[in-house]
Chain A
Amino acid sequence: EAQVTQNPRYLITVTGKKLTVTCSQNMNHEYMSWYRQDPGLGLRQIYYSMNVEVTDKGDVPEGYKVSRKEKRNFPLILESPSPNQTSLYFCASSSDRPRGNEQFFGPGTRLTVL
């Protein structure tokens, strides 16, 4: 089954404790992206990747890092999480730039930073 998977689905952590949210897709997609979703604000792009070893900042990259060492994986790293990073995070992938191609979203990771 074609899908985007994220882990963990739920995470409660404390300020300053490094964490990684994994994202994996099995559709051989070039384009992958991370979004955060907050009430009343809609989805906002954090980082995206056009292909292996190619990443770029989205609209809200501060406090986040990503890497794309393999085509199928695109982990999101929070080196020193803060409470304002409490949010619902989605990973997405598409065969090319999402402008004209459907993005497939993962199930989401709900992160709480205390």
Chain B
Amino acid sequence: KNQVEQSPQSLIILEGKNCTLQCNYTVSPFSNLRWYKQDTGRGPVSLTIMTFSENTKSNRRYTATLDADTKQSSLHITASQLSDSASYICVVSDTGRRALTFGSGTRLQVQP
């Protein structure tokens, strides 16, 4: 069964600090992996998408990495801001099934 596990479940950091969120998956055969940001009470918004051949991709202060061999991805947030407080969801798709496999998310809280 395809699964996506995210850690930690929740994280509190001080404004200006960096943090790294983890995503491990067992989806096979792998197609791509997305990171979404979900603000409280809003729908998820895509941050980045990574395919099998990509190791690193950046979007402003967000940098995603992918290790297809170990089936792990990380999302690194640099110089955190209060507006980064949200849930971050890892979503993996395979080449066969129609649906996506969603992680349960990491809830990040950035404090002043």
- Please give the residue numbers on chain A whose beta carbons come within 8 Å of chain B beta carbons, in ascending order: 4, 40-45, 48, 56, 58-59, 90, 92, 97-100, 102-108
Q: B73 contacts the other chain (Cβ, under 8 Å)?
A: no
Q: B89 contacts the other chain (Cβ, under 8 Å)?
A: yes
B4 touches A108 (CB 8 A): no
Per the 8 Å Cβ criterion, residues 23-64 of B in contact with A are 31-32, 34, 41-46, 49
Could you tell me the dominant secondary structure of chain A's interface residues? loop
> Residues of B within 8 Å of A, CB-based: how many?
22
Supplied contacts A42-B105, A59-B99, A105-B45, 7 more A-B pairs, CB within 8 Å: A42-B102, A42-B104, A45-B100, A99-B95, A105-B43, A107-B43, A108-B43
Provide the residues of chain B in CB contact with A100, threshold 8 Å. Answer: 31-32, 93
Known: A42-B103, A45-B99, A45-B100. A107 touches B89 (CB 8 A): no
Closest A residue to B101 using CB positions = A42
Per the 8 Å Cβ criterion, residues 78-112 of B in contact with A are 89, 93-95, 98-100, 102-105
A42 touches B4 (CB 8 A): yes
Provide the residues of chain A in CB contact with B99, threshold 8 Å. Answer: 45, 48, 58-59
